[in-house]
Amino acid sequence: MENSLRLSTQSAQSKKLAKNAASKPKDRLVENGKSTNLRRVNVYSNERVVLQPELDISDELELNTHIQMDGLEFLKKLPSSAFTAAFFDPQYRGVLDYLGYGNEGKNRTPKRSAQIQMTDLIPKFISEISRVLMPSGHLFLWMDKFHLVTGFQNWLDETPLKSVDMVTWEKPRIGMGYRTRRKSEFLIVAQKSPARAKGVWTRHNIPDVWPERAASANGVHPKPERLQAALIEAVTNEGDIVIDPAAGTYSVMRACLSCNRNFLGCDIRG
């Protein structure tokens, strides 16, 4: 009797929870004319307990604009343990080298292969980014398929960063590949110690496969703005400063401005 009473109370409670969840506002992911409802799911707390401190940033580093500077030099000017989120999207050579496209630069991907390559510098950038992130701050690290399958862990080994998740960006168009043709890119979510979601990650409706169109400009491929904005909203508060030391087309700046965050970043090419 007591058991059946407990069960019926539980069932009433779960019906109430389901009703509440159903009446919550829904976000929509619209891509290629298809619309998907993203139900808000309160898995963890929606209150952030990790707050960005007051920052003292050198006058030569202006917020929300393009800065032409070497990314390592830029990072060295920033205070330690200061920022809640950073993006890093290095110019990878891995895929091009691995696939051994002998004619790249002549008639295949000439603009892309003319880009400044950063592979040897990547661990130095990651080490500096981990210094400037505050405890439990996030690094969103764009990763090419070659490094994803052969290993990138050694870039994080000497830092307080740990991989905690990954998002696959699904592109609308198919690319190169001897076996499968590329249609996706990968974003590693790394977190500075202590790694935890509760009280830090406050948006719980981001799918780990994200379709979005992003146009290329002058051989630099911008990353998807709406995905980056969703991640920024998940781990920062309005007014926080998000950094990107190799900003390319400044897609992270546009993402920040779309959700009332500040951006601080540079590119060696301006």
Ligand X SMILES: C[S@@+](CC[C@H](N)C(=O)[O-])C[C@H]1O[C@@H](n2cnc3c(N)ncnc32)[C@H](O)[C@@H]1O
Cα 22 from Cα 44, distance rounded (Å): 18
Q: How far apart are CA 93 and CA 90, in angstroms?
A: 9
Interaction between residue 268 and ligand X (CB under 6 A): yes
DSSP state of 200: T
Q: Work out which of 249, 253, 255, 265 binds ligand X, going by CB under 6 A.
A: 249
SS3 106: coil
Residue closer to ligand X, measured from CB, 44 or 146: 146
Total number of residues that touch ligand X (CB under 6 A): 19
> Binding to ligand X (CB under 6 A): which residues in 67-86?
70-71
**Distance from chain centroid for Cα 245:** 13
Element spanning 164, H or E: strand 161-170
Q: How far apart are CA 112 and CA 45, in angstroms?
A: 42
Which residues in 103-142 contact ligand X (CB under 6 A)? Answer: 115-116, 118
Least spacing, CB of residue 117 vs ligand X, in Å: 8
Positions 159 through 178 that interact with ligand X (CB under 6 A): none
Q: How far is the CB of 59 from ligand X (least distance, A)?
A: 20
Residue from the set 26, 40, 108, 269 that interacts with ligand X by CB under 6 A: 269
* 3-class secondary structure, 232: helix
State the nearest-atom distance from the C-beta of 266 to ligand X, in Å: 6
Alpha helices in 84-194 (DSSP H): 94-99, 110-113, 122-132, 145-150, 153-157
Residue ranges that bind ligand X, judged by CB under 6 A: 70-71, 89, 91, 115-116, 118, 220, 222-223, 245-249, 251, 267-269
